Amino acid sequence: MTELNDGKPRRIKNARAYSFTLEEDTSNFGIHEKGGIATQVKEPKLLNFKTLREAIKDPGDFLLSDFSKFDRPPLLHLAFQALDKFVSEMCRFPVAGSEEDAQKLVSIASLINENSGDGRVEDINPKLLRHFAFGARAVLNPMAAMFGGIVGQEVVKACSGKFHPLFQFFYFDSLESLPTANLDPSEFLPLNSRYDAQISVFGSKLQKKLEDANLFVVGSGALGCEFLKNLAMMGVSCGEQGKLTITDDDVIEKSNLSRQFLFRDWNIGQAKSTVAASAAALINPRLKIEALQNRVNPETENVFDDTFWENLTVVVNALDNVNARLYVDQRCLYFQKPLLESGTLGAKCNTQMVIPHLTENYGASRDPPEKQAPMCTVHSFPHNINHCLTWALSEFEGLVEKTPAEVNAYLSNPVEYTNAMMKAGDAQSRETLESVLECLEKEKCETFQDCIMWARLKFEDDFANRVMQLIYSFPEDASTSTGAPFWSAPKRFPHPLQFSTTDPSHLRFVMAASALRAETFGIPVPDWVRNPKMLAEAADKVVVPDFQPREGVRIETDEKSTNLSSASVDDSAIIHELIRKLERCRENLPAGFRMKSIQFEKDDDTNYHMDLIAGLANMRARNYSIPEVDKLKAKFIAGRIIPAIATSTALATGLVCLELYKVLDGGHKLEGYRNTFANLALPLFSMAEPVPPKVIKHQGMSWTVWDRWTLENNPTLRELLQWFTDKGLNAYSISFGSCLLYNCMFSQHRERMDRKVVDLAREVADVEFPAYRRHFDVVAACDDDEGNDVDIPTVSIYFR
């Protein structure tokens, strides 16, 4: 069916997971024999917008963000028309807290609504319009951040034509962020401060709570910078009792500057948290902020101790990895602190509110683990550029980082190193020793021409010989054990490359590979390496041996295999022989010889790192007819850069800060909070109330994951067991960490009844509690009177 290979886009229908139907007559086409690659083509979409005058009269369908407010957008459309009329008549906005102005706005809205014909709103909701009037003149930082993110992305769409624009109107409100209590009009009066706009909406009492809050912001990257800006402008932690602590153990890199806006060129290499804190203090000099450079994990519990967590008001996560999020989540659960969670991925973002006793915790639901490509696919059967780049990064690390490090480890302590390899005696040890021997023997470089020769032969081995060996082992007409074609989708049949000095990509590979090889051996890299003509002349001097296929070469084809190396009965003998050869090589090395291990650094465009990785990946892609990528795209994938843009970051932090109003005000019910998922590319905004925690009930008691049972006054084991008995529970086993403190089956444990539980923990676990620790946790296995196991909360015993 070669007629399909003309490159023309074709419409399809009945698209399923493994098939689709062409919308054309193929009866005159040839027969489909095998294979074929289909590429999805997205057609441009033409949008016809109404004029503003037409859209105001007939707005059409609105983009919804919250389905619990299905009827809200038409009402807000009416409210903004009424506000425009109010401003035209009064030459000002309504005064905050003014019932007179609010009533006038309601009257105007009612009149406009009566003349709206088919677009008439059934219920104009005077209460909502009253709140609308009270806050009409205020500009709130969270709203500005949120809409700034949305509008910023729309500007990019208008300039680039990429992604789908907002169509006509989008209305958003967060009425549930307002205080739950009815406030006296005097609460909204201006105080001649920078927070008067915020006070006009939320009142002076909530403003005081914002200023006296004790916040902990974990992370000072893209999200952290946006949060600090928002919090400083809102006046959070700017009062006498307030304090904002931010921590991040990372330093500023060049790639951070495009989206972490508190940093500048001259800050590269400095601590993120310190620089961000200084920048936030410039935004609001009253901000009481402390910057730390500690990770938040079990190893830093002496820094972030019980007193630290107990004094916090709210925790705001600005992290970029799940493990750190889970640890902070557990700390917030333990100390019952609200956690405001958010994350971004390109144009997508999400927020999650973790509120004590109201919502489930962050760790209660998790995304499935990210799929990893099978090892055999990456090493022998790639079918997309990600596979090629994964292989290229692995090759880079092996060639210039791991192998030189292994060479140095061997030369520093040959006896200890070889003993460890003989003890392991596996295929991986054999391969490591072979790599070390190659560096010190046949592939040892002493001049830059040696490095050129190594790079040229590396090209031949990776992109010609290996492919020809693969084709020799699995010809194009090869079949599987079931008789099916071996080279069937998603496998791509490869083709060996013929090195050519007239191909710039081939020369770039030799340039990068030889330069990094020279660096590992401490050989100066000459300036002429960047001269294509001189580099080609040097490469032409290399004598390349003819390829000879080998019999019995094992190539892994099992996708479930996680290791390409297989153990062999001969490994031990081969390892001993390799060690003897290494000893002979070491004797001929100059005194003090060492190689340089090079760690991957993606942000330096002059260090050849991305040149080599992109070269390895693209040559491999060319072997398998996979579309190649430029160095920038290769850097994005191989450098594992998490796509983060300022627009989605601003949107996420604005939404979180709207929730912060609710947390600090207090009294909001579960239905008042919102979790959000948004995708600015579509665009899509999906808000929903958080999920409540699972409730466990027992004999009139109930508890959730948020509950923690505590015992004061340093109890004995007998007192602890009686405490459980009083709750209708039989504690048959009590442990501390992995150590068993009590089990009813062991008679000797009854002798421990009158001992303090803390003394048992010290003795059995052989630990000493630091001075900052006032309590420890035990795990109790309990059942009820009928022998049914009962899951109970964490039990904390206070001994100080």
Q: Which residues participate in catalysis according to the annotation?
A: 376
CA 261, 265, 267, 272 dihedral sign is positive
Alpha carbon distance 370, 354 (integer Å): 24
Alpha carbon distance 395, 408 (integer Å): 19
Helices (H), 666-779: 717-726, 757-765
Alpha carbon distance 537, 528 (integer Å): 11
Alpha carbon distance 491, 481 (integer Å): 16
Judge if the upstream peptide bond of residue 73 is cis by omega within 30 degrees of 0.
Answer: no
- Give the H/E segment covering residue 529: none
Alpha carbon distance 491, 507 (integer Å): 29
- 92 is written with which tokens? 């000002």
User: Residue 269 in contact with residue 251, Cβ under 8 Å?
Assistant: yes
Phi, psi of 125 (to 5 degrees): 55, 75
* Cα–Cα distance list, 349 to 49, 341, 491, 653, 686 (Å): 27, 11, 35, 10, 11
Cβ-Cβ contacts under 8 Å for 103 (sequence gap 6 or more): none
Nearest one of 215, 224, 216, 386 to 320, comparing CA atoms = 224
Task: Write down how long the chain is.
Answer: 800
Alpha carbon distance 322, 384 (integer Å): 27
User: Residue 216 in contact with residue 225, Cβ under 8 Å?
Assistant: no
CA 664, 665, 666, 669 dihedral sign is negative
Alpha carbon distance 247, 181 (integer Å): 35
User: Residue 577 in contact with residue 370, Cβ under 8 Å?
Assistant: no
CA 312, 316, 318, 322 dihedral sign is positive
DSSP at 393: H
* Cα–Cα distance list, 390 to 378, 694, 740 (Å): 7, 41, 45
